[in-house]
Amino acid sequence: MLLPIPEGPWWDWTVRHYDGSRLTLVAGHDLSYHRGLEVVFTDTLYVRCPMDFMDPEFRAPTPEERAEVARLVGDEPPVLVAFEADGGGTEPAVCLIAAEAWAIRQGRFPRQASADVGFGGSTSSFRHAEHL
């Protein structure tokens, strides 16, 4: 699925909150300022993306990605988002997020990450696969 991201300067992204069920991404035009876009995934089933990334290119998931996620979580999820982004490595990060629902809000959101992101501050990517 393609997220209906509103037009704007959304090239810097970060994980603001992740508690194993709810994933909140915030985006803006510069990491040192507030964020103007928030994307919230609820009841996440699978997450593969860097903590911080730039210039995501959202696209439809490939048949292989759909099969991978269905195999890992037991069925095709209601929401499956795929994108490539600059995650700081030599190659673009290939990202997948599977969840039950999502919401997009525009506004003014703080840039600081939540203290309850439970996978270590130095981790560059993470996967939510506790029920596999």
Q: pLDDT tens digit string along 23-43?
A: 999 888 765 666 688 999 999
Query: Average pLDDT, stretch 73-79?
Result: 94
* Sheet of strand 12-18: strand arrangement: 101-109, 35-42, 23-28, 12-18, 52-59, 79-86, 93-99, 46-50, 125-127
Predicted confidence band at 50 (pLDDT cuts at 50, 70, 90)?
Answer: very high
pLDDT at 94 over 90: yes
Query: Average pLDDT, stretch 87-116?
Result: 82
What does the angle CA 48 – CA 54 – CA 56 come to, to the nearest 5 degrees?
65
What does the angle CA 66 – CA 120 – CA 62 come to, to the nearest 5 degrees?
10
Core vs surface per residue 13-29: b (16+ CB within 10 A) or e: bbbbbbeeeebbbbbbe
Distance CA 88, CA 54 (A): 8
- How does strand 35-42 pair with strand 23-28? antiparallel
Query: Average pLDDT, stretch 42-49?
Result: 96
